Amino acid sequence: MIKRIYAIFRARNLEFLRDRGTLTWNIVLPVALMLGLSFIFSGDRPEYTVGVLQQAAEIDESVHPFLRTRYIEFVAVHDKAAGFRKIERHQLDLLVSFEAPPEYWINPDSSKGYFAELALLQTDTDGRIVKSPIEGDAVRYVDWVLPGILAMNMMFSCLFGVGYVVVRYRKNGFLKRLRATPLRAIEFVIAQVASRLILILVITIFVYAGTAWFLDTRMDGSYLALLVVALLGCITLISLGLLVAARVTSEELAGGLLNLATWPMMMLSGVWYSLESANEWVRQVANVFPLTHILNAARSIMLDGSTLAEVLPELLILASMSVVFLSIAASVFRWRSG
């Protein structure tokens, strides 16, 4: 079994590595995206964002006149520790609580925090609100978006790189030829996962190392933990690609299905922006996507310094998704078209 898996794995690797156009595209695209985005978003976030410490999901403007200030986005914060961490990282400009006694928290190094504080104090006519400073370095947008870019590139490489190739193999009869050998479906599937996994991990590590060196991006956690997340995330996404391609015989249909899988993830998994202020249903839908859990875990490690144990729930979800996707893909796998 191992011998057969290795034979298919090796042949697929050679095919990919010698296809210079595809290989170059897989490396150049994320680097170009990264550089472009870091240039475009080299400044701070364009708006003021103030966290309101409260249990309710909606902001009630009648609680305090400050909440009616224009050009400030108010977001509900339920967890004080999480709010403090965001102030520390400059992800919130200010954190306020209007429950007695009224209080606010600010990072003295944040320029936007300074102006948000002026606006708050202007509306605090009785002067009762208490100030508490919290210190910490800013998380730049480029630090925040880096896991998103890397994960998005992984997603496209895994889904299209595996899904499209399997459909092409099926359509041109190569799978039918393999079917006539002792090779089993699960062996073929494992070989495809292993081949793509190693190639994508190597490319992602290469792109991450280059970007981190070039842009001096933030990494508060362990590289090993991040590697585990990338590994498991890749397996999940490849499995999804195999599931999409398990029976499809047309490249056009495969393209449509793969787009159907990738676009919602790209838009709703928090690649480009945080989902914290999004509607509840959007956040619920986002939880269905593997990319959301990959990003949550990766950002938690890179920006908050979380350990593997702390991101275990996300890892368990990814592992479960992988098992389900792979099992279904292997059991419904179709060797031939027509």
Partner 1 sequence: MPAALEARHLIKTYPKVLAVDDVSFAVEEGICFGLLGPNGAGKTTTVEIIEGVTPASAGEVYYFGKPVGSSFREEAGIQFQNTALQDHITVLETLQMFQALYDRRADLERIIDECSLRELLNRDNRKLSGGQRQRLLLAVALVNKPRLVFLDEPTTGLDPQARRNFWDLVNRIRRDGTTIVLTTHYMDEAQILCDEIAIMDAGKIITQGSPTELLHRQYSNAIMELPLSDISGDLSTIKHRVLDTQGLVEIATDDVNASLQALRAQVTGLNRLRIRQPNLEDLFLDLTGHSLRA
Residues that bind partner 1 (CB under 8 A): 3-4, 6-8, 10-12, 14-15, 18-19, 169, 172-174, 176-183, 335-336
Q: CB 3 → partner 1: shortest distance, Å? A: 6
Nearer to partner 1, 170 or 299 (CB): 170
Q: CB 247 → partner 1: shortest distance, Å? A: 15
Which amino acid, residue 162? V
Nearer to partner 1, 8 or 95 (CB): 8
Nearer to partner 1, 7 or 275 (CB): 7
User: In sequence order, what DSSP letters do the residues of 248-279 get, joined into one string?
Assistant: ---HHHHHHHHHHHHHHHHHHSSSSS-STTS-
Query: Dihedrals φ, ψ of 53, to 5°?
Result: -75, 110
Residue 246, number of CB atoms within 10 A of its CB: 21
Phi-psi region of 77 (alpha: psi -120 to 50; beta: other; left: phi over 0): beta
Query: Dihedrals φ, ψ of 50, to 5°?
Result: -120, 130
- Please name the helix (run of DSSP H) or strand (run of DSSP E) that holds residue 77, with its range, or none: strand 72-77
Sign of CA dihedral 224, 22, 269, 239: negative
Beta bridge partners of 52: 76, 96
Nearer to partner 1, 105 or 169 (CB): 169
Q: CB 185 → partner 1: shortest distance, Å? A: 13
Nearer to partner 1, 18 or 70 (CB): 18
Phi-psi region of 171 (alpha: psi -120 to 50; beta: other; left: phi over 0): alpha
Nearer to partner 1, 17 or 282 (CB): 17
Q: CB 9 → partner 1: shortest distance, Å? A: 10
Q: CB 161 → partner 1: shortest distance, Å? A: 14
Nearer to partner 1, 133 or 173 (CB): 173
Nearer to partner 1, 115 or 174 (CB): 174
Q: CB 235 → partner 1: shortest distance, Å? A: 23
CA–CA separation, 201 vs 187, rounded Å? 21
Give the closest residue to 96 by CA, choosing from 54, 48, 47, 139.
Answer: 54
CA–CA separation, 298 vs 294, rounded Å? 6
Torsion of CA 143, 146, 151, 152, to 10 degrees: 130
Q: CB 195 → partner 1: shortest distance, Å? A: 12
Q: CB 249 → partner 1: shortest distance, Å? A: 14
